[in-house]
Amino acid sequence: MKTALITGADRGLGLALVREYLNLGYTVFAGRFLADFHLLDDLKKEWPDTLHPVQLDVESRASILAAAQEVAAITDHLDVFVSDAAYMGGPENSRVKGEMPIDESLLEKAVAVNALGALQCVEILLPLLRKGEEKRLCIVSSEVSSVTLMQRDGDFRYCMSKTALNVAVRMLQNTLASEGFTFRLYQPGWMRRQQPDGSFTQWNDCQINAADSAKAAIPIFTSRRPDDAYKLELVDYLGSVWPF
């Protein structure tokens, strides 16, 4: 049985990636975080045997530990881990041109969810991941993580947290590559946000749908490269490599 765990799977890219891995034949553990979204439940009706929604708040160590226990009751291994969950901020946290960063509590929250969340998940899930054959860790980052290319002003917290995430993944690779773990850092493009009824926000400046970005991610997430043991690339939905 091939198994994957995907965080932030209530909607958007996370939910679309759940669907892709189910179609590939994986048993998927889908991180549920939002109370008012029922799209995972709808998907569970289509895939009653191989989709397992699990409550998972990546900011909470207790929640990750409980999710790991739930997974371990069903399988003794995880082949793939996908970190998709992100705190992008609500209206109180919207991007203001020229805004200086400082709301320390929100900055801390962004780092806690977006950077530390993925790291804590890997740490806690490691015993299951070590028993997996694939040992593939896929992390959804962002174009804002590229110190070289990103153009944003304002929204310091989200941008800083995604850059910190990249460094965490680099260090995970340095630490775990000798055990056969390989990594993918993905830049999914500007996607429309998904609403509780499944519909999507207007296109505005968006470049791609979550479903299409998930389809584009799959060959990147499932491929093997000869330099996988030491090279880490930030790859976007078009397959282009970003400096970071």
Ligand X SMILES: NC(=O)c1ccc[n+]([C@@H]2O[C@H](COP(=O)([O-])OP(=O)(O)OC[C@H]3O[C@@H](n4cnc5c(N)ncnc54)[C@H](OP(=O)(O)O)[C@@H]3O)[C@@H](O)[C@H]2O)c1
Contact residues: ligand X, CB under 6 A: 7-8, 10-14, 31, 33-34, 56-59, 84-88, 113, 117, 140, 142, 188, 190-191, 193-194, 210
- Tell me the two tokens of residue 79: 């082949």
Question: Is 179 or 201 the residue whose CB approaches ligand X more closely?
Answer: 201
Q: How far apart are CA 73 and CA 213, in angstroms?
A: 32
Indicate the residue among 175 and 201 with the shorter CB distance to ligand X: 201
Work out the burial of residue 98: count CB atoms within 10 Å of its CB; fewer than 13 is exposed, 13-18 middle, 19 or more buried: exposed
For ligand X, the closer CB: 79 or 236: 236
Least separation in angstroms between residue 180's CB and ligand X is: 25
CB 165 within 8 A of CB 139: yes
Task: Give Cβ neighbours of residue 230 (< 8 Å, ≥ 6 apart).
Answer: 173, 177
Question: Shortest approach of ligand X to residue 178 CB, angstroms?
Answer: 28
Residue nearest to ligand X (CB): 12
* Residue 41 one-letter amino acid: D
Token code pair at residue 3: 């198994």
| Contact between residue 138 and residue 221 where contact means Cβ atoms under 8 Å apart | yes
Nearer to ligand X, 142 or 182 (CB): 142
Kindly state the tokens that stand for 190.
């500007």
State in angstroms the smallest separation of the CB of 172 from ligand X. 16
**Encoding tokens for residue 231?**
């090279």
- Smallest distance from the beta carbon of 218 to ligand X, in angstroms? 15
CB of 222 to ligand X, least distance (A): 18
Report the residue number, 34 or 229, with the smaller CB distance to ligand X. 34
